Amino acid sequence: MTHPDPVSAREAGATDPDGARVFIIEDDGDIRDLLCDTLRTYRFAPVAFATAEAALSELAADPPAAVILDLGLPDMDGMDAINRIRARGPVPILVLSARAHASDRIMGLEFGADDYVVKPFDPREIVARVRSLLRRASPAPAAGVRDAGDRVARFAGWRFEPESHRLLAPDGEESFLSTGEAAILTALLRAPKRVLSRDHLLEHGGRDDTLDRAIDVRISRIRKKLTRPDEPPLIRTVYGSGYMLTAQVTWSDG
Ligand code: CA
């Protein structure tokens, strides 16, 4: 699986960062400085933190456009940090890891990161990945919201808001999906009781490379969030064909 190189991402008309605030949570000062300098060069507004705790309090006060998170932080387990950031809102998370194993890559996505980069990395690749995350997180394509009547989906007692990626369970429990998960769930909710091929789901996510390699991981994460004891599964796998949402869906403006 390849990733767009920084130059082609730029030529493809990637969104101008326009001073977008990006949190860098990394305890290694050299890497932190390198990322800050590079992001600034590409007209982002980086805000650096050496600990997860410091970033989490600032995250609540003034949420950034994206978060770059080192998985090996001194004060908090990386997966715990992802969960705590995710619990506060739909901000895209790019994870940095020193470990190159494919299973770690999938694990990062399983825990709700939006993308994953292994150290050592070319900082320009980070720029390309952050741009891609911001593009997907921008309301129009990622949320799939077409008009005011399209803002909230209700199904089997659940409620999902594509713009904020917010999912409310019948018992009131709130969770936030990653950008990739939200794109897939929105596609399923747009076409309930129909089998959607993996190709259709990829198309909906903009044929994004990140989505491509992770579609099954993301379906399984959405399933976990959508599961309640004693209830039949809402997303069915149709072998050889794709996936289907089994519930009736109503879309409305609130
Ligand atoms: Ca570290």
CB 234 within 8 Å of CB 246: yes
**pTM of the model as a whole:** 0.70
CATH of the domain spanning 6-137: 3.40.50.2300
Q: Which residue is listed with tokens 């690749």?
A: 125
Confidence of residue 211 (pLDDT cuts 50, 70, 90): low
Residues 88-128 have pLDDT tens digits of: 888 899 999 876 665 666 666 667 788 888 888 999 999 99
For ion ligand 1, residues whose CB falls within 5 Å: 27, 70, 72
Residue 96 CA to ligand 1 center (angstroms) comes to 9
Beta strands in the chain (DSSP E): 21-25, 45-49, 66-70, 93-97, 115-118, 152-155, 158-161, 166-168, 174-176, 235-238, 242-245, 250-252
Angle between the N-to-C axes of helices 209-225 and 102-110, in degrees from 0 to 180, rounded to the nearest 10? 50
Residue 94 CA to ligand 1 center (angstroms) comes to 14
Instruction: Enumerate the domain spans of the chain.
Output: 6-137, 151-253
CATH architecture of 151-253: Orthogonal Bundle (1.10)
Check pLDDT > 50 for residue 7.
no
Residue 97 CA to ligand 1 center (angstroms) comes to 8
Q: What is the pLDDT of residue 48?
A: 97
Residues 35-87 have pLDDT tens digits of: 999 999 999 999 999 999 999 999 988 889 999 999 889 999 888 899 899 88
